[in-house]
Structure 1
Amino acid sequence: MPSVRPPRAALARAVSPLALLALWQLASSTGLLPERLLPAPTTVAATGAELVRDGTLLDAIGVSVQRAVLGFLIGAAAGVGLALVAGLSRLGENAADPIMQMLRALPHFGLIPLFILWFGIGEAPKVALVALGVAFPLYLNTFAGIRGVDGKLAEVAQTLRLGRPALIRHVVLPGALPQALVGLRQSLGAAWLALIVAEQVNAASGLGFMINNAREFLRTDIVVLGLVVYAALGLLTDALVRLLERRALSWRKGFPI
């Protein structure tokens, strides 16, 4: 039944993470994994509960999510906007694509010192780094999706005498949507990866600050907790995009598994 499939799929996807968690706990309980190197899941969970009670963890998550959302919105607007410019006209491609390809080749994390010189040590360089990480996957995939639309569909549109705006709206954008959603998933992963690095530099709040502060006091349990929260946020955003894919691409039949 269609209504039962999503919970079953979610349960099936949860098996491997739960198995990994069980192996982690087993290795810690038997002493194969020393507590000083990697605390047991029960220890990390207890630390998390303690930090939730005193408000530290929730405050840190709120700050990090705010940075990620702001950086994602800026990067997504730039990436999708430039992909439309480059994908819908040859002139736009010649103007935008070479610059994007050059910027894409730069080591993003190596730009941190330059961002600090430009924007200071506040929120701006952190948000800029996230935006940069988001823009390129969305640009590349949306551009590829636009250029990958079947040319025969454009011929049909011309036969039906559709104007260019109608062609873009009814043919090009729906045809590019699957590839653009792939870029969305990649860009969200890049956003969290960039945020982890950005929050290690001159942060006074957020998950990265919590992890750095815990490192100074050798609190491995808090360090692991922060990384687990980053991973959970990444899984949550990926699940939301997967849900969006199922709804937006319900017309497309995939390979039956």
Structure 2
Amino acid sequence: MEIDSLVGLFAAISRIDAACSVDDILQEFRSAIERYGLRYFLITGLPVPHDTDWSRQILVDGWPPEWYLRYMSEDYFSHDPCVAQCRHSPKPFLWDELPPAKLSARAKLVMDEAADFGMGQGLCVPVHVPLAGPGVVTAAGDRIEIAPSDVPFIETLCVHTFRRLSGLEQSGQAVDAAPLTPRERELLEWSAEGKSNEDIACILGVTRNTVESHQRNIRGKLDAANVSHAIVKALRRQEIQI
């Protein structure tokens, strides 16, 4: 894991948590994602299919105004392949990763027309909230530059921003969150140093399955979307140092 990227993520999330208004939160979020060529974004809940009033779940509309009007007037929500993918998978994905052979003609039209409005490439980060419906942060631009190693950091930022805006994470940590064990803190610090699960297993003299089990426990305790998110939350709780 790149320490510089992790420090930048920690700083961005800290500024988002310190923001006093929605506009301030979005300014920090926009500043963080623009470095990847992501100029436009939509942050919304995803209601059940065929919901004719899905737009009531939009938290933030950062799309080009003309595209939003087009999307609404043509009922593209019902045919958007990104919506379907986000409902069924918790993993972030690039728009280019949607399998063209499985897209209907209407779904292809949605993606093609998005490109006409300056959104030729994009990324979706599904947000699956316990006891609530799924949501998504989708961000796009005419041309984006996102390396595979960048995706966990962007995912963490998107999930955190979604929860901050929806009021699920006002303080940045769960009120009754259990503290990490010494072994969990040690393991997470090695992750922050960029060590893989295989590396950590070798260092600690345990199996990879044991490391992965610890990682699941850590994410559960911290309500974290991924390892990067867990590291940031543990840093803010002052449970680990890097």
TM-score range, shorter chain: under 0.3
Higher-Rg structure is 1
Higher helix share: 1
TM-score (norm 2): 0.28
From the two aligned structures, give the one with the greater strand fraction.
Answer: 2
